[in-house]
Structure 1
C-alpha cells in the first residue's frame, strides 16, 4: 500500500482551510491498513435502505461509516432516497395512484412524509418513513457515526450542491470535527463533485466511477477519492489512483462498491482499496484480516 504523507508536508500543503490534521487517515484502522467498511444506504441487507432503521442497524453492528443518497422534493426539501422515483421503495402507487411516474421532484416533502418506506422490505419495518437529510444526519450524529453522502441526479436538481452543504452547515456537519474525519461528499457527476470542492474546499469529495488513469490528474484537482465498482478494478488500477495526490495534499483513495460477499471482500482488499462499500457490513468486516 502507498506511503502516507509526512506530517510536515501535509501541513504545508493543506493550510488552515482544509481542516486536516497530520494524524488524519480515512481508514477505519490505519495501524493495520485494513480497508474502511461503509454501510451502503445504511445496513441495507438487514433494514430498508436509506431509512433511519438502516442507520440504526449499522450502529448495532458496530459500523462507523454509513452511505446515503440525497434527492430534492417539489418544494425544495432534501430527502434521503436512492431512486429518482418513489415507486420501488415506498407505497406511493397506493397512496397517490394517479401521479405516475411518481418522481421525487413531483412530490412535496409533506406528501413524501406520508409514505411507507419500510413495508416493501418486511412487515417489521412497516411505517418507516423517507427521512429528510436533516433527520438523517441527526440520527448519524446520535450514533457518533460518519457519513459518505452521495448527491444523486444533480442535473435534475440545479443548485443541490450548495443546498446540501447549507443543510450540513446548519446541522453542524461542516465544523472542524466533522470535516476532519466524519464526512465525504460524492457523486457520479464530476461537475457536481467539482462544485462541492469549489464551494467548500475543506470538505473531502469522491468521484463515483472508473476514470482512465490518464485522466486522473484532472480529477485530483477536485476529488480526494475515486470510487469505482468492484467489478472494474485491479491491483494495478488501485495503485495507479493512489499514486496521485488529491486536493488536500494526500494520496487519492479508492472506496469500491458494492461488495456483499466474503470472497469478494477479500479479493478487493487484496487490490489495496482504502474502503469497501457494502449492504452487509458485518460480512465484509469479518472477512477482512485483522492485521
Structure 2
C-alpha cells in the first residue's frame, strides 16, 4: 500500500483525511508518528562524535557486515564462516562475544550450546548449562559444525563436520589473512604451555595454532563486535578493550599496521577497524568508559532488553537522545520482511530521525534482494534503479521533495554477503558463494540434490 504524506497539513485534519481513505490501523499509526516525528526536537551529536562518524563514512561507506560470518553458507561464527566472509569481500565480520569460565572471550551467539553443538553427547547432564560454565578447552572438544549440515542440508559440506567454536582472537587473526593449522585429516593443532604444538587437545591450552592462509585473497575486513547485557559478564567491556589493545586492533592505542592490497577490502587498516554494538544501554555506558572514541552502534529491537523501543516517535527520540549523550555513532534498527520477520524499525520517517540526530544507520538483516531495494530507496525512484547503478537517478513525481537520501540506510548486516555485493555492483565476475567455499577447502558437497 502506498503511504500518504501530509507534512504541511495540521495533524487532526490529516488523520481525518487518512481515516477516509485508509482502513488500516497500522497506516494511521505510521502517519501519526511521521507527523509527530517532524515536530520532535532531537539532540545532535557533538563535534568529537561527528569526527568519528565522518571517518567511518570514509573508511566503510555502504558497509556490508557479515552477520556471524554467515548463517546461510557455513556454520555460524566458526572458522569456515569467517574465512568465507573474508574471502567473499565483506567489509566487517560480525560477532557476538561471550566469556568462558577461564576468562577467554568467545565468538558465539547463544547463551546455551544446544543449538550449535553436540554438547548433549559430549557433556551429558550439562547440555543446558550456560556456556560461561565451560572452559575454553572443554568448548574446543565440541563439534560446532555438524548441526549446520543437518539444519541446512542444501548447503551441507563434509568439511563442516567438527568445526570448532571460535575465540575473539581467532576472528582477529582470520581477518588478518590467517587460518587454523591442521593436519591431513583436518585436525587442528593446539598450543601447549611451553609454546610448542600438539594435536592432543588435552595436553594443550585450548588455543589454536595459526598459519598464513595460502588461499587468502587479500581482503582485510574490520570486526563488528556485539556485547551482551553487563549482568551476564561482569567486566566484559574492560576485558574486550584489553584483548583489542594486546592484539593491536585498538585504533586509538598503538594500532598495528595490517597490510592491505589496492582494490581489496582494507577496513582492517583504518581507524574504523573495530565497531562495537549492543542492545543494552548499560553496556553503552561501559563501552564508552573503556573504549572511548571507538565507533559504537546502538541496536534497536522492539521491546528488547533495557532499551524498550516501539514504532513510536517519542520512544525513538528517547533512544536517540540517550545515544547522543553517550557518544554513540551508529543506530542499528531491524528491518521487516522474510525470512526473519522482524519488526520494521527502519521506516523512512524513522531513518530521517536517526539521520537528523547525526547518526549512521546500519540496519539488520538483509537476506533478500527485495529488502535491499526497499531500504536503500530503490522503490521510490524511476525504473526501480539502484543508487549503486545510477546515483543520479530522479525521484518519481509523487515523491519529489518528500523522500530523500536521509530516509534510507547507510549499511547493513547480512547472512548473504554475496547478495549484497552483487546488489552494490561490487561482485567479482565468476566468483560465487560456492566457488569461494571450494577455494577455501570446503568443497565436498554432501547436501541433498
Superposition deviation, residue 157 in structure 1: 0.6
* Correspondence for 1:273: 409
Give structure 2 stretches of 5+ with no counterpart: 1-44, 150-157, 178-218, 256-268, 302-308, 310-314, 337-343, 378-406, 427-449
Asked if the contact 2:104–2:167 (Cα under 8 Å) also holds between the matched residues in 1, the reply is yes
Return structure 1 stretches of 4+ with deviation > 6 angstroms. none
Superposition deviation, residue 186 in structure 1: 0.5
Superposition deviation, residue 59 in structure 1: 1.9
Pair 1:204–1:98, CA change in 2 (3 A): same
Pair 1:27–1:47, CA change in 2 (3 A): same
| Map 1:137-156 → 2, pairs under 5 A | 137-142=172-177, 143-156=219-232
Asked if the contact 2:72–2:415 (Cα under 8 Å) also holds between the matched residues in 1, the reply is yes
* Correspondence for 2:316: 213
* Correspondence for 1:161: 237
Superposition deviation, residue 133 in structure 1: 1.0
Pair 1:180–1:220, CA change in 2 (3 A): same
Superposition deviation, residue 285 in structure 1: 2.7
1:89 aligns with 2:225: no
Superposition deviation, residue 279 in structure 1: 0.4
Return 205-214 or 215-224, whichever deviates more: 205-214
* Correspondence for 2:350: 237
Asked if the contact 2:55–2:272 (Cα under 8 Å) also holds between the matched residues in 1, the reply is no
Return 20-29 or 168-177, whichever deviates more: 20-29
Pair 1:129–1:26, CA change in 2 (3 A): farther
Pair 1:254–1:20, CA change in 2 (3 A): closer
**Among 330, 354, 377, the residue aligned to 1:225:** 330
Rounded Cα–Cα distance in structure 2 between residues aligned with 1:139 and 1:151: 20
Deviations along 1:200-252, one digit per CA (max 9) or x if unpaired, are: 212111111154332112211221111011122211101110111xxxxxx21
> TM-score scaled to structure 2, two decimals?
0.56
* Correspondence for 2:419: 283
Max radius of gyration: which structure?
2
C-alpha RMSD of the superposition: 2.4
Deviations along 1:154-207, one digit per CA (max 9) or x if unpaired, are: 321111111111111111111346671211011111110221112221211111
* Correspondence for 2:367: 260
* Correspondence for 1:78: 105
Rounded Cα–Cα distance in structure 1 between residues aligned with 2:123 and 2:424: 45
Rounded Cα–Cα distance in structure 2 between residues aligned with 1:97 and 1:202: 45
Rounded Cα–Cα distance in structure 2 between residues aligned with 1:258 and 1:235: 17
Rounded Cα–Cα distance in structure 2 between residues aligned with 1:104 and 1:173: 26
* Correspondence for 2:264: none
Give structure 1 stretches of 5+ with no counterpart: 1-9, 30-34, 245-250
